[in-house]
Amino acid sequence: MSRAFGHDVLIIGSGAAGLGVALRLADRARVAVLSKTELAECSTFYAQGGISAVLDAEDSIESHIQDTLVAGAGLCDPEIVRLVVSRGKAAIQWLLDQGVTFTEVESEDGDRHLHLTREGGHSHRRVVHAADATGKAVETSLLARARAHPNIELFEYHNAVDLITTAKLGLTPQRVVGAYVLDRKAHKVRTFAARAVVLATGGAAKVYLYTSNPDTATGDGIAMAWRAGCRVANMEFMQFHPTCLYHPQARSFLISEALRGEGARLLLPDGTPFMKRFDPRAELAPRDIVARAIDHEMKRLGIDCVYLDISHKPADFVRRHFPTIHRRCLDFGIDITREPIPVVPAAHYTCGGVVTDARARTDIPGLYAVGETACTGLHGANRMASNSLLECLVFAELAAEDLNRHLDDLPAPPPLPAWDESQVTDSDEEVVVSHNWDEIRRFMWDYVGIVRTDKRLQRALRRVELLKQEIADYYGHFRVTSDLLELRNLIIAAELIVRSAMARKESRGLHHTLDYPERRDPPRDTILTP
């Protein structure tokens, strides 16, 4: 029998959200943090732009709130927006206390202070950053703290299979009691028991053929919560980042929105700027508008990409502010101080997810969801730039506050059965997994992308239903692998996105359909129930 691991809190996911919860709990609880690959391989690590927070005297909480509400196209929860924005300054201070080093500038009187940049949708400079590798600075600092804490146990290459609930064990009342987890190195499924479980697995953008996300973004937490009985909301709002590097060897490399914040212009191949024709804010319009504008121009002209140009800025300025992007583009023969960058939109952020309350609690007692996995009400129909890491940090704090308050009241989990694989064998045709993986991502890109129609969504749903059955049959007959687990989660993410998109008979934010081009009032969330 495989060893069972017992902890007070099991955290599935090792990005800023998961580590944020862990570090705030560890002084009084035994915490396990799972990562299905290396600990730092998460969306946090690859975040370039920064974290939005009101730190400038000319800025205000009310302004940040209003910008977020406008970007969210009428679907943000105003109370949640205020809750998150008002905690921004404290979140930045907490990161500084953890050892994160942000970019600073020197004022005229010789004082040093955090440099603030501006991104799309923001009316002020309020984005704190570490050059153009903010996520890396945050992730490495938090990981160093977690590794040093005696109450935090880190598990690399551990891929969660499914949540264990009392309902699955035939017990009452309903609550979460742990998870089955594939130890990828030992090739065994382990049982992890816990008083509470936190889902911090990131989003589901890998459901699309082209994405800025790492390979880990396969909707695992969303799918596990759905299978366990949690509601999921607003999955039709998948954000496409307007500017990913277009190059045959440049796999998933994001060109930060901060370039546009510092004056970069979007150009057609002949050098003509075009954003003013779509929005008076031009390059600083919210991401949904910019992505649709680029998509429109690419289809209108039959071109493979558009161009992002910051070469009119001094070369030293570009190299100092965007060292990672400058270096990476040079690897592909593009000197951004002298020439424009070829860019295309790519799936970037999941605005919907597992429904939570203002303390990150889901529908199942003891189960929390934080970060991109969750639908908190902050983002509405379109996430504003750099509000994502802010949400991770604030809801990590809110979840930890609630857990610290109630952990002693949560009962110890009952004895949990070991994983049973007595009725399955090793797969003899792994090509089925890779083929289905590729098929999902292609039809989602073709039919459920930046611009949608009823006909495209119906085509996608038919393919989802066929593949869902095929994957279920495969899962029932063969031993689990990491690729199979991700595929199983990916098809659920695809189904939730398609069904949510079909339910919304309007165009709003990131959901744009040619069949219903106007907004319908009053605005409503799309909530799906298992």
**Catalytic residue status for 287:** yes
Note if the bond before 78 is cis, omega within 30 degrees: no
CA distance 291 to 509: 11
Residues 325 and 247 sit within 8 Å (Cβ to Cβ): no
- Residue 232, classed as helix, strand or coil, is strand
Residues 146 and 152 sit within 8 Å (Cβ to Cβ): yes
CA distance 49 to 119: 8
Q: Which of 87, 260, 287, 328 is catalytic?
A: 287
Structure tokens that stand for 325 in this block: 């992007």
Structure tokens that stand for 245 in this block: 């590097």
Residues 330 and 315 sit within 8 Å (Cβ to Cβ): no
Give CA separation, 457 vs 146, 312, 351, 495, 510, in Å. 43, 42, 19, 10, 15
Residues 217 and 202 sit within 8 Å (Cβ to Cβ): yes
CA distance 88 to 165: 34
Give CA separation, 465 vs 66, 458, 462, 486, in Å. 41, 11, 5, 17
Residue closest to 233 by CA, chosen among 522, 520, 497: 497
Q: How many CA atoms lie within 13 A of 519 on its CB side?
A: 12
What one-character DSSP code corresponds to residue 425?
B
Q: CB within 8 A of 458, min separation 6: which ones?
A: 502
What one-character DSSP code corresponds to residue 46?
H
Number of Cβ atoms within 10 Å of the Cβ of 400:
25
Structure tokens that stand for 28 in this block: 């009084």
Residue type, 201: T
CA distance 345 to 337: 22
Residues 526 and 513 sit within 8 Å (Cβ to Cβ): no
CA distance 446 to 249: 22
CA distance 460 to 495: 9
> What is the set of active-site residues?
287
